[in-house]
Amino acid sequence: MRFSLLTRSAAGAADFSRLDSASVEFRDVVKTYGDRRVLNGINLTIQPGEVVAILGPSGSGKSTLIRLISQLETLSAGEILIDGKPTRRLQGRQLYQLRSHVGFVFQQFNLYAHLNARDNVATALEFVHGWQKAAARERALALLTQVGLADKAEHMPSQLSGGQQQRVAIARALASSPEIILFDEPTSALDPEMIGEVLAVMKALAHSGITMIVVTHEMQFAREIADRVVFIDGGDILEAAPAAEFFARPQHPRTRRFLQKVLDPLHQESAG
């Protein structure tokens, strides 16, 4: 029945069943909630395999920006192209295909509390992607091994630390072999001593071929891992530059103020 939901234009526009490279292009993207504009016309192209860090103050529109890519939110105006194909009008099977090519890791890990680590990863493969149970469980174990959790496969989320739970969530996001993975402040809910293990997994993933977009406050991670840093404030991209350049020579006064605050929080008042 899903097919009956397809509009003709969408059917002609996109085939996400074979997505080899995965660029992401925002064209004049606007998002409003009621009267409130939270993205003001975003233009940004992310290359296949690129690692992009999105920085900006709270409420600036960072989450909204990446949630639009996987259509957790709907566009108000403009277009987002993935692999050069417009995504705005996708419905039904094509929307489902798009989503299976985009992994999402949330700040709150959102694991199923009643399933062990392995089944948290396998469930999506089985029930969303139609895998056989045995194959799904095998792939789940391979993915948990990749994130360093082979020995925790049968543990329930409540038996895992926050860092381990977030690594399970990363394994789950990778289950459908996405070409794009989105992270929304993946370490912000973690105790400080657990941040490193999650960043290490992300570092291993970066430049593995997958396109990676990371909303983060981890400046060192952004500086070391990202190809490019995009700074958003008030729903606008104020600056986008290679990471080294961004941190060495921030161009916009608001970028400089933001960096001063996050890099030297004790002296933010005097920095004005």
Ligand X SMILES: Nc1ncnc2c1ncn2[C@@H]1O[C@H](COP(=O)(O)OP(=O)(O)O)[C@@H](O)[C@H]1O
Stretch of 19-27, 61-69, 114-122, 195-203 contacting Mg ion, by CB under 5 A: 61-69
What's the closest the beta carbon of residue 31 comes to ligand X, in angstroms? 8
What whole-number distance in Å separates Cα of residue 4 and Cα of residue 11?
11
Q: Which is nearer to ligand X, 31 or 118 (CB)?
A: 31
- Residue of 64, 66, 52 lying closest to 222 (CA atoms): 52
Which parts of this chain interact with ligand X (CB under 6 A)? 33, 38, 56, 58-64
Enumerate residues 6+ apart whose C-beta is below 8 A from 167: 147, 148, 149, 197, 198, 201
What's the closest the beta carbon of residue 213 comes to Mg ion, in angstroms? 13
What's the closest the beta carbon of residue 188 comes to Mg ion, in angstroms? 9
Q: Is the dihedral of CA 184, 191, 151, 198 positive or negative?
A: positive
| 237, amino acid identity | I
Q: What's 50's DSSP letter?
A: -
- Burial of residue 76, with CB atoms counted within 10 A of its CB: 0-12 exposed, 13-18 middle, 19 or more buried: middle
Sheet order of strands, 85-86 included: 36-46, 24-33, 77-82, 85-86
Q: Which is nearer to ligand X, 155 or 261 (CB)?
A: 261
What's the closest the beta carbon of residue 177 comes to ligand X, in angstroms? 27
What is the per-residue binding string for Mg ion in 6-45, x denoting contact by CB under 5 A? ----------------------------------------
Q: Which is nearer to Mg ion, 185 or 239 (CB)?
A: 185
What's the closest the beta carbon of residue 225 comes to ligand X, in angstroms? 20
Asked whether the beta carbons of 6 and 94 are under 8 A apart, the reply is yes
Q: Which is nearer to ligand X, 73 or 138 (CB)?
A: 73
Stretch of 37-45, 56-64, 230-238, 247-255 contacting Mg ion, by CB under 5 A: 56-64
Residue 158 touches which of ligand X, Mg ion, none (Cβ within 5-8 Å per kind): none
Structure tokens at 160: 């895992």
Q: Which is nearer to ligand X, 29 or 147 (CB)?
A: 29
Cα 182–Cα 202–Cα 188 angle in degrees, nearest 5 = 70
Q: Which is nearer to ligand X, 56 or 162 (CB)?
A: 56
Both ends of the chain: CA-CA distance in Å? 58
What's the closest the beta carbon of residue 176 comes to ligand X, in angstroms? 25
Examine residue 63 and tell whether it contacts Mg ion (CB under 5 A): yes
Binding-site residue total for Mg ion (CB under 5 A)?
Answer: 1
Q: Which residues lie near Mg ion (CB under 5 A)?
A: 63
